[in-house]
Amino acid sequence: HASEKVKHIRKVLREIDKPFGLYPNFLSPTSGNWVQHHVSVGGLGDSFYEYLIKSWLMSAKTDMEAKNMYYEALEAIETYLVNVSPGGLTYIAEWRGGILDHKMGHLACFSGGMIALGADDAKEDKRAYYRELAAQITRTCHESYARSDTKLGPEAFWFNSGREAVATQLSESYYILRPEVVESYMYLWRQTHDPIYREWGWEVVMALEKHCRTEAGFSGIQDVYSSNPNHDNRQQSFFLAETLKYLYLLFSEDNVLSLEDWVFNTEAHPLPVNRSDSFSIAGHPH
């Protein structure tokens, strides 16, 4: 039975020894041990954390195991990965066997929205802290856009030697229509209604129009730091599924796909909050 398999995987992950409470990205299916100690809230790690808090919300707040695993993981992240740059930007670093890479991937920028989404159900004395942390991470991700010539953000950006929130090599300077930054703007807008998030979203709309629109659709660009960037001639499917959807929701009323009733999976497909008592994927709490 599928749900039993899922529960078993989660049980293994809950009980396995974790370095400082962090979850490395790779687990061997044969040995059940971590393959290496690389931890990231960006690619490879991102959806795992997101699905813990979202499993809790989708279960109409009955899946206590998911809730507890999420907040424990978040405490480890804030303790070991969250940093503030000399210029005052809060970011989530990557962790390689205890050594930090002071970089953040575009994919990790979804985490502002995730932390905002999870702030309401945190311990009471941490709620304000998580709301502020979500706002600060989202601000940093906006800076990665604001500090480029195109006002679109790079695939990854670093915090080192006086240069902050910028890519350090051409191989990380591309933008492929990714949604994570506008995803966080949408969640932060829904939670705070601070008009800055709509202003930032509109900056993205104008930059997409200016640099990514083609006769046939929208294209990624090869270098966000070029004032006249080359197109990569690809319109990624997540541009329609996520980027445009989150922008649309950012400028919609809160009752359009209300976050009370819908949970977005990691590809922005809306899944209903499961309020039926007769059947729950999460099972009933013990």
Three-class SS of the chain: CHHHHHHHHHHHHHHCCCHHHCCCCCECCCCCCECCCEECCCCCCHHHHHHHHHHHHHCCCCCHHHHHHHHHHHHHHHHHCEEECCCCCEEECEEECCEEECEEEHHHHHHHHHHHHHHCCCCHHHHHHHHHHHHHHHHHHHHHHHCCCCCCCCCEEEEECCEEEECCCHHHCCECCCCHHHHHHHHHHHHHCCCHHHHHHHHHHHHHHHHHEECCEECCECCCCCCCCCECCCCCHHHHHHHHHHHHHHCCCCCCCCCCCEEECCCCCEEECCCCCCCCCCCCCC
In a domain, 140, yes or no: yes
Stretch 60-65: mean pLDDT: 96
Does residue 124 belong to any structural domain of this protein? Answer: yes
- Binning pLDDT at 50, 70 and 90, where does residue 13 land? very high
Structural domain boundaries enclosing 39: 12-272
Query: How many percent of the chain have pLDDT more than 70?
Result: 97
Q: Structure tokens of 101?
A: 């890479």
Residue 3 resides in a domain: no
pLDDT the model gives residue 278: 43
CATH number for the domain harbouring residue 28: 1.50.10.10
Residue 21 falls inside a structural domain: yes
Residues annotated in a binding site for Ca(2+):
266
Q: Are 131 and 149 in contact, with CB atoms under 8 Å apart?
A: no
- Positions at the binding site: 266
pLDDT at 161: 79
pLDDT confidence of residue 286: 43
Q: 15 near 27, Cβ under 8 Å?
A: no
Percent of the chain with pLDDT over 90: 93
Q: Is 220 domain-assigned? A: yes
pLDDT tens digit sequence for 138-162 = 999 999 999 999 999 999 999 997 8
Nearest-angstrom CA–CA distance, 77 and 60? 25
Closest CA to 191 of 243, 248, 131, 138: 131
Please say whether the beta carbons of 112 and 187 come within 8 A.
yes
The pLDDT assigned to 277 comes to 56
Number of folded domains that form the chain: 1
The pLDDT tens digits for 22-32 are 999 999 999 99
Q: How many CA atoms lie within 13 A of 199 on its CB side?
A: 7
Asked whether residue 203 carries a pLDDT value surpassing 50, the answer given is: yes
**pLDDT band with cut points at 50, 70 and 90 for residue 276:** confident
Please report the pLDDT score of residue 127 as a whole number: 98
155, 180, 183, 242: which one is catalytic? 155
The question of whether 155 is a catalytic residue gets the answer yes
3 pLDDT band (50/70/90 cuts)? confident
Instruction: Confirm whether 236 is domain-assigned.
Output: yes
Q: Is residue 200 part of a domain?
A: yes
**Mean residue pLDDT across the chain:** 95
* Residue 7 counted as domain residue: no
Report CA dihedral (52, 58, 201, 109) to the nearest 10 degrees.
Answer: 10
